[in-house]
Amino acid sequence: MSKIQLDYSYVTDFIKEKDLHKMQTKVTEVHQVIEDRTGIGSDFLGWLDLPNRVKIADLERINRVADDVRKNSDVLVVIGIGGSYLGAKAVIDALSHSFHNSLPNKTPQVFFAGQNMSAKYYDDLKDVLLNRKVSVNVISKSGTTTEPALGLRYLRDILSGSMAKEQVRQRIIATTDESKGSLKKMADKEGYETFVIPDDVGGRYSVLTPVGLLPIAVAGININELLQGARDMEKLLKEPDIMKNPAYMYAAIRFMLHTTGNKAIEILTNFDPSLHYFSEWWKQLYGESEGKDNKSLYPASVDFSTDLHSMGQWIQQGTRNIFETFLWVEKSRGGAQVPKLDEDTDGFNFLAGQNFDAVNRKAYEGVTLAHHDGKVPNMTVLIPEMNAYYMGQLIFFFEKACAMSGYLLRVNPFDQPGVEAYKSNMFALLGKAGFEAKAKEVNEHLKSVQRKIV
């Protein structure tokens, strides 16, 4: 079976190869810290051997529950935010029909909620759920997050409008902590089917737990193949040598571009709209893992060729503080070809009969070269084919690289203390019990702000 590889040909004009090789000593040290689980935050390294640790009985249960949902539902609404939705959304979008949100005609559509607090979004969701058989998977590790809690209230209300309490109970599945949190309490009280998120796996590393596996299985995607891909990548990435470990090479390059090459922004780039949410998952993984202690790269993303007609200009000629990481899928999944016109009015008959992806490939080859010539170092993660197996490889590749990268930067890649700041302000402003002192402070602070509005 082939594997994901890293092409770094367009980096070596910006980082000397001998300097890259000097990184090996640091990488070997960090590798040992990861494998021995002795680094900061190592209580959350459970994802490291997760693909191998998952029990057959647990997988069978996930597949069984997913089958039931598929038989009984037109729609599955997945409620969760951050790490509790982005992994499933990324995999489902990457592997499903572009206009159906799952595999067409075989599975329920998978919609997402609890990832925002827009009244319009919830109105619209209610509209599309009308007269459809709906199941709900609510996911929250802490079990206390505002957005999914409100989303669950709303969905329960919708379900209760058309069915008895017992039927509502049968249509809700909770994925949460084994013992803590209000979601766990509610699930126990109501008798919901429940899946457990392991203690030692943080939200953004949890896609290969029931958090991602259940919705992905409901969408008709083979989770056994997904895990096999992750397992094979896990084995490959046990190698400390950066010349044999593409994830470590990727981490070493981004570290050098940031610290000695003065790059502030990494742009993840794809050539297929189905990978848009993969970039969103990646942004959370790197943004939340590394963005602390006043350091780290800003993880950004674009979708090509679409964004070549917007951000392409900036990337080619704007501030030179960026580098790009391309995702390129080698094998085409589609058969669409460029039709021939009787009269070549638009001048594109020279492409007639070509698969769209063959044209897309030339755009990729052209743009990596152009951006390199425009002084944007770039590398490519080469993906042999877009299927569940390689998606599993890709997920594990970026997770392992993120641990290496975070430790190289000397941050704790597994916590997210900064996420709490907005929450306590919001709770204070909403008048939540227990936030009275904070409310006083926030209100005084708000009053002191000199509003300048034109």
Binding site for ligand PA5 (CB under 6 A): 81-84, 140-142, 145, 148, 202-204, 288, 416
Residue 322 CA to residue 311 CA, distance in Å, equals: 13
Smallest separation, CB 195 to ligand PA5 (Å) = 13
Q: Which residue of the set 309, 444, 447, 452 is catalytic?
A: 309
Residue with Cβ nearer ligand PA5 (73 or 416):
416
Question: Which residue lies nearer to ligand PA5 by CB, 245 or 289?
Answer: 289
Q: How far is the CB of 211 from ligand PA5 (least distance, A)?
A: 8
Which CB, 387 or 416, lies closer to ligand PA5? Answer: 416
Catalytic residue among 423, 432, 438, 441: 423
Is 372 one of the annotated active-site residues of the chain?
no
Look at the block and give the residue holding tokens 């997770």: 399
Q: Is the CB of residue 438 less than 8 Å from the CB of residue 421?
A: no
- 148 or 229: CB nearest ligand PA5: 148
Q: Which is nearer to ligand PA5, 118 or 167 (CB)?
A: 118
In DSSP notation, 90-103 reads HHHHHHS-TTTSSS
Q: What is the DSSP string of 9-56?
A: EETTTTS-HHHHHHTHHHHHHHHHHHHHT-STTGGG-GGGGHHHH--H
Classify burial at 131, counting beta carbons within 10 Å of its beta carbon; exposed 0-12, middle 13-18, buried 19 or more.
exposed
Active-site choice (288, 290, 324, 399): 288
Please indicate whether residue 309 is annotated as part of the active site.
yes
Least distance to ligand PA5 from the beta carbon of 110, Å? 18
345-354 as b/e, with b when 16 or more CB fall inside 10 Å? eeeeeebeee
> Nearest to residue 395, comparing CAs of 94, 58, 21?
94
State the nearest-atom distance from the C-beta of 81 to ligand PA5, in Å: 5
* Closest approach of ligand PA5 to the CB of residue 184, in Å: 11
Q: Does residue 100 carry a catalytic annotation?
A: no
Report CA-CA distances (Å) from 417 to 286, 295, 401, 420. 15, 14, 21, 6
Under 8 Å between Cβ of 30 and 407:
yes
CB 273 within 8 A of CB 241: no
Catalytic (active-site) positions: 288, 309, 423
